[in-house]
Amino acid sequence: MTTTLATSPTAHRAAVDLAAVREQWGDLLAAIGRRPAAEWPPRDSRAYIDGHLAEQSDDVDDEQPVETVGRLPLLLREHPAPLNLGALDAAIEVERELFDLADQVAGAVQRPIRAAFPHRGQYRHDSADAADPARWHYQAPTSPGSRAFGLHWAAVWLEGRALEEMHGDLFRPMPVRLLDHIALTAHRARRTVERSLGRDGRTTTLDAPCPYCGGQLAGHTRSGGEPVVTCSTGSACGAPVLLDDRHRRAWRGAELVGLFVAMESRR
């Protein structure tokens, strides 16, 4: 079977990285309004937010309430006093790169707007073709174009172009070198987002011992995955969680809530 651009490993990688960027975009925007946290797990991780562990921190009364990610606007707006400059810089960088990339891709593969039937000797743009929802619109002095819909739409649109989704004759075939550029930019954007959110594969030694056996706890993050805490004692640890592939007790997802509640109780 002949592999096409739409099913190539490069196209697949680009689509996966773009999906990861847009799925974490709300978390990154939320992080701009929160002070960077020194503790583990990262306060912007889903497990940490969903478990409401932020409400148990000592400084929660000093912060303004933050809306849940599901209700956050997915547009990067001006922040008069951002609390996390690193997150703000990351968001600005990623947004600029993907918007510029969409402009480049549209210029290479998107058909120009058709001219309508001449009226009184003048050609005008076909309004229906111009309003096609699949069309990427460039920024202009009087209009933000498709940028008005935010990074989420840019990522969805670029994913469709990488996979060469059909939409009439609006798009031409994707050049191989341009697909490579999409994949490289998407991967860089994903790394920027995950690094800012502390999800880039780091390991952190926790100060508090395991509340079940006194062993050394370590927190792990990985790209595209939720945080995990492991205990160095191994299978002898009596924690009510499963062993990982290295025979360590491991807490994931909702289990982290129980772990951190137990750690607070021990303190």
Residues 75, 94: Cα–Cα separation, whole Å: 12
pLDDT tens digit string along 203-238? 888 989 999 999 999 998 877 667 899 999 999 999
Asked which of 11-15, 106-110, 166-170 is least confident by mean pLDDT, the reply is 166-170
Q: Which residue has the tokens 């174009």?
A: 145
CB atoms within 10 A of CB 240: 11
- In 3D space, the residue among 263, 204, 201, 193 whose CA is nearest the CA of residue 40 turns out to be 204
Prediction pTM value: 0.71
H or E stretch including 130? helix 127-130
- Per-residue model confidence as pLDDT tens digits over 2-48: 344 446 999 999 999 999 999 999 989 988 888 776 556 655 444 44
pLDDT attached to residue 11: 96
Per-residue pLDDT tens for 50-68? 444 445 444 444 444 333 3
Give per-residue pLDDT as tens, 235-253: 999 999 999 999 999 999 8
Compute the C-alpha angle 156/186/109, nearest 5°.
60
* Domain locations along the chain: 5-196, 203-266
Cis peptide before 173 (omega within 30 of 0): no
pLDDT average, residue stretch 127-132:
86
Rounded to whole angstroms, how far apart are CA atoms 259 and 238? Answer: 12
